[in-house]
Structure 1
């Protein structure tokens, strides 16, 4: 089994339950880990034999552009798109962190993590 990962991909987006969050926007960090069994060995040095982390980043980037009330919905959408592109994945872990959420006290971030494994 192999894992590709993106750690701390930063985005400015308009996710949030409250209307002012969707109007003002906020900074987010996204972490993605994808576990898979390679279809081929890597002796031919071919990117098509792996999960391309640039494509995974582009998926996250595209999903962050669609405002949603819940960061859970964002994480699920990222997972769905990765599974569509790479149906051979064994598991996916996506964490979406909202930096400096609008709370009374000082909070570094709020976050949600979703773990996905295909049904057997």
Structure 2
């Protein structure tokens, strides 16, 4: 094992439980760093829902994390169906949805009526 991994693992085992529901892959509470940093793009949010929704903005960006500065790996057309799996409010107080396609800024998504 390399030393970085061992140090991260030791930090995870010795660190107190975070009050925030989301934890970055580094073990640091998700909202610890400024928005758009690498840590905020590799966030882990436990999947808590399965809500059907659709995209309401043509070419809506699909990000690798819940921040504008995170890498955009796809764009979705207006009307594309997505499944919301989790919701996350970042340090800029913006609501993002983790979907089956990646992270999408919430104003670009509309939830189907029940």
Give TM-score scaled by structure 2 length.
Answer: 0.25
More helix by proportion, 1 or 2?
A: 1
Bigger relative contact order (CA 8 A; separation at least 6) = 1
Give TM-score scaled by structure 1 length.
Answer: 0.24
